[in-house]
Amino acid sequence: MYSSSFPYIKIGVLGGGQLGKMLCQAASPWNLQIHILDPDENCSSKFICSSFTKGHFNDYNAVYNFGKDKDIITVEIEHVNTEALLQLEKDGKKIHPSPSALNVIKDKGLQKLHYQKHNIPTSAFRLYENKKEVLAAINKQEISIPFVLKTRTAGYDGKGVVVVKNINTLDNIPDAACVIEELVEIEKEISVIAAANENGEIKCFPAVEMKFNPVANLVEYLFCPAQISESVSKQAEGLAVSVIKSYNLCGLLAVEMFLDKSGNILVNEVAPRPHNSGHHTIESCYTPLGSTKMKSASAMVNLLGEPGYEGKAKYIGIEKCLSLEGVKIHVYGKEQTKPYRKMGHVTVLADTLSEAEEKAKFVKETLKVTA
């Protein structure tokens, strides 16, 4: 569709964190220009984008003015001003993912209702407006402990998620509109990244398995292929295809799922953009549309800020890791580290998954981000 103007298309990206940086890196071999809007002029994309505009992706005027001279606008974060995107769409701009899908995805309550409406399996849930309503619902035995509480908006990387296992945890729940979900007995957390083009052609990357840091509740390791049966992996891919179709999206959609102890697959949440569960594909897979085939088994370790350190980031042990075969280090360039902040990631390619896993564990123990 753009072949006549390729590669002279101006692409605007809302957000310039590490995911925006990865978009710039992916676009560079095609000589596509990526223009970034971010409130932080020291954001990860600053040295690599074609131009940088300082402004908040949540602010109507900042987004609208940024989008006016672009051909295509996309996002690397879903918490953006969709009103401005809707206006830009009316003005004739291409917006991927569509602002209407973004409106649903950025609200975890609307996401759950969307899955219910489209018969997509997800954990049982109820929606509440505030803490008072949640406490009243417990009194009425409408909901029972244990459960998981998630604030509807602005949560990410485990922030805004509270697992309520006993009465005492209730003191810690936020006073905000929230989703209450039944606590799933999780066997494995998996993710499938689906990619769709404007013609509705869809491809999925192989399912990956995510291991979470128990303290910070965010991804620490990722393994590809996921250690699941062929039939579970087929089901997960089928589900990812149904989900991307249900949102009518063009672009990438990471579909995070739970495989529960009874073998059911439930959709947890989605992200319509580059996602942590796809970082390994940079080195370990061919690209979509085209082929999403795996070239090699891989593991990915998130480089999280070491607990106990806050300040200008230092990378300890990097040389020892660089000398290992198959180890690819990505540093995001965030100046300040703090406990569990995502500062970079390392992909390990190997002939077997267990070899990749072993090297990834070595990297985790050797490469530390301190201050």
Judged by the rule CB under 6 A, the positions of this chain that interact with ligand ADP are 123, 148, 150, 155-159, 161, 181, 183-184, 186, 189, 212, 217, 256, 268-269
In the block, which residue shows the tokens 């309520």?
164
Rounded CA gap, 123 and 117, in Å?
A: 13
Parallel, antiparallel, or unpaired: how do β-strands 251-260 and 219-224 relate?
Answer: unpaired
Examine residue 288 and say whether the peptide bond preceding it is cis (omega within 30 degrees of 0). no
Residues 6+ apart with CB under 8 A from 92: none
Compare residues 63 and 218 and give the one whose CB is closer to ligand ADP. Answer: 218
Q: Measured from the CB of residue 160, what is the shortest distance to ligand ADP in angstroms?
A: 6
Work out the end-to-end distance of the chain between its first and last CA atoms, rounded to an integer number of angstroms.
Answer: 48
Q: Measured from the CB of residue 192, what is the shortest distance to ligand ADP in angstroms?
A: 15
Q: Measured from the CB of residue 266, what is the shortest distance to ligand ADP in angstroms?
A: 8
Q: Measured from the CB of residue 275, what is the shortest distance to ligand ADP in angstroms?
A: 10
- 172 to each of 108, 125, 149, 179, how far by Cα in Å? 20, 20, 11, 15
Strand partners, 224: 298
Rounded CA gap, 84 and 63, in Å?
A: 6
Rounded CA gap, 6 and 204, in Å?
A: 25
Compare residues 59 and 187 and give the one whose CB is closer to ligand ADP. Answer: 187
Q: Is 12 exposed, middle or buried (0-12, 13-18, 19+ CB in 10 A)?
A: buried
Angle at 250 between CA 194 and CA 96, to 5 degrees: 125
- 228 to each of 77, 225, 231, 236, how far by Cα in Å? 30, 8, 8, 10
Compare residues 107 and 306 and give the one whose CB is closer to ligand ADP. Answer: 107
Compare residues 190 and 321 and give the one whose CB is closer to ligand ADP. Answer: 190
Q: Measured from the CB of residue 222, what is the shortest distance to ligand ADP in angstroms?
A: 12
Q: Measured from the CB of residue 214, what is the shortest distance to ligand ADP in angstroms?
A: 9
Compare residues 126 and 368 and give the one whose CB is closer to ligand ADP. Answer: 126
Q: Measured from the CB of residue 326, what is the shortest distance to ligand ADP in angstroms?
A: 27
- 109 to each of 46, 148, 191, how far by Cα in Å? 34, 13, 20
Compare residues 188 and 203 and give the one whose CB is closer to ligand ADP. Answer: 188
Q: Measured from the CB of residue 32, what is the shortest distance to ligand ADP in angstroms?
A: 29
Strand partners, 11: 34, 72
Rounded CA gap, 226 and 208, in Å?
A: 5
- 101 to each of 56, 86, 177, 197, 313, how far by Cα in Å? 20, 11, 20, 15, 36
Rounded CA gap, 118 and 136, in Å?
A: 30
State which residue has the least CB distance to ligand ADP.
Answer: 184
Q: Measured from the CB of residue 239, what is the shortest distance to ligand ADP in angstroms?
A: 16
Compare residues 220 and 237 and give the one whose CB is closer to ligand ADP. Answer: 220
Rounded CA gap, 45 and 332, in Å?
A: 8
Q: Measured from the CB of residue 156, what is the shortest distance to ligand ADP in angstroms?
A: 5
Rg (CA), the chain: 21
Could you please report the per-residue DSSP string of 138-170?
HHTTSS-SSEEEEESSS--TTTTEEEE-SGGGG
